[in-house]
Amino acid sequence: MPLYEHVFIARQDLSNAQAEGLIEHFSAVLSDNGGKVVENEYWGVKTMAYKINKNRKGHYAFLRSDAPAGAVQEMERLMRLHEDVMRVLTVKVEEHNEGPSVQMQKRDDRERGDRGDRPDRGGDRRR
């Protein structure tokens, strides 16, 4: 089955338990339609770059799934109809990365990761 990654933003006035309940609800929708959730992460309340429906913040959640296209479409349809969900993004991926997502890694781990072995770019570009 195809592999997907989903991120959704829920309204800021929900409690943490309610936001995590949404993750469980949408995971159950995938399971009921023949898919499975490989991993889920609750990223917490984050400030958005711009207001969405008069909200400046939102609860962010991340799901990794292994599901048929029909199950993903049904989950997205229900997310878009749900009054607490403001935005949904689904991306089809070739493989799931091991370990936590970039949002859940510590800042020190991210900075040392890919940027430490970059070649020198030749100085100042403003000239």
d(CA 3, CA 35): 10
CATH code of the domain in which 39 resides: 3.30.70.60
The position carrying tokens 């995971």 is: 27
Whether residue 63 lies inside any domain: the answer is yes
Domain that holds residue 49: 3-112
For the stretch 90-124, pLDDT in tens is: 999 888 777 777 777 776 665 665 555 556 666 66
Please spell the DSSP secondary structure of 5-46, one letter per residue: EEEEEEETTS-HHHHHHHHHHHHHHHHHTT-EEEEEEEEEEE
Whether residue 118 lies inside any domain: the answer is no
pTM of the model: 0.78
For the stretch 60-84, pLDDT in tens is: 999 999 999 999 999 999 999 999 9
Angstrom CA distances, 90 to 61, 62, 111, 115, stand at: 12, 10, 26, 27
What is the token pair recorded at 7? Answer: 């991120």
The structural domain count of the chain equals 1
What is the token pair recorded at 39? Answer: 């991993």
**Residue closest to 5 by CA, chosen among 116, 89, 126, 122:** 89
Whether residue 124 lies inside any domain: the answer is no
